[in-house]
């Protein structure tokens, strides 16, 4: 068994995530987490002194994975439709996974107990991705392609349009429409609708 602290930490979080996803926070057992981990109790509690600390770390790791899954280095920055479609597809493909939906369910069921968990998810995943989209909207506006006077708010609107409905359906266990083709079509339509509202248009002429 590896003694590398990062490896040990990852194994503990794997065990904790499996337990939390199976049982929720309240019913989760640190003894079962310890059994899943297969290491010693002092080792586990040296890394994470409480069940709450374990839960926060699990949520933080899921958030970081979502942020890291949406890498846009290969997207054409001069093609707003294509760029936004690709961003939406990658964001949706990750946020609709079981572990990401688990965070949403915990936020609904037990979020009042863990306000910091929502803050962690927003800080590690939502804010960086929102900033990524906002920077693109601002660049396209500066280039005269779009008209986004408030890129941060417009980026948030794109998130709402693209992600919120799909996540809600997944949270409430509506099973249809989450395959790769459906996600691609949803991303295409949302990007087109969003961009239609941001297109530069000539000013109306006075009567």
Q: Tens-digit pLDDT profile for the chain (207 aa)?
A: 567 889 999 999 999 999 999 998 889 999 999 999 998 999 999 999 999 999 999 999 998 998 888 989 888 888 999 999 999 999 999 999 999 988 888 887 777 887 877 788 888 888 999 999 999 999 999 999 999 999 999 999 999 999 999 998 888 877 767 899 999 999 999 999 999 988 865 545 545
Res 120: pLDDT? 84
Count of residues making up the chain? 207
Owner of token pair 């109790």: 41
Alpha carbon 90 to its chain's center: 10
Res 71: pLDDT? 87
Q: What span, in angstroms and rounded, lies between the C-alpha atoms of 156 and 164?
A: 11
Degrees (nearest 5) of the Cα angle 182, 183, 188?
Answer: 100
Res 203: pLDDT? 44
């Amino acid at each position: 068994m590896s003694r590398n602290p990062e490896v040990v930490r990852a194994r503990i979080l794997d065990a904790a995530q499996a337990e939390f996803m199976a049982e929720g926070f309240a019913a989760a057992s640190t003894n079962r987490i310890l059994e899943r981990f297969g290491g010693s109790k002092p080792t586990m509690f040296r890394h994470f002194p409480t069940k709450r600390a374990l839960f926060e770390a699990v949520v933080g790791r899921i958030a970081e994975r979502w942020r890291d899954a949406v890498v846009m280095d290969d997207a054409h920055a001069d093609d707003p439709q294509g760029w936004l479609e690709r961003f939406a597809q990658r964001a949706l493909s990750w946020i609709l996974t079981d572990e990401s939906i688990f965070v949403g369910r915990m936020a609904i069921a037990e979020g009042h107990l863990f306000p910091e968990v929502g803050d962690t998810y927003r800080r590690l995943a939502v804010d960086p991705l929102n900033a990524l989209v906002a920077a693109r909207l601002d660049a396209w506006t500066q280039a005269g392609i779009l008209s986004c006077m408030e890129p941060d708010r417009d980026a948030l609107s794109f998130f709402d349009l693209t992600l919120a409905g799909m996540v809600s359906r997944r949270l409430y266990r509506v099973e249809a429409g989450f395959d790769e083709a459906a996600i691609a079509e949803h991303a295409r339509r949302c990007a087109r609708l969003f961009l239609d509202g941001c297109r530069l248009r000539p000013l109306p002429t006075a009567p």
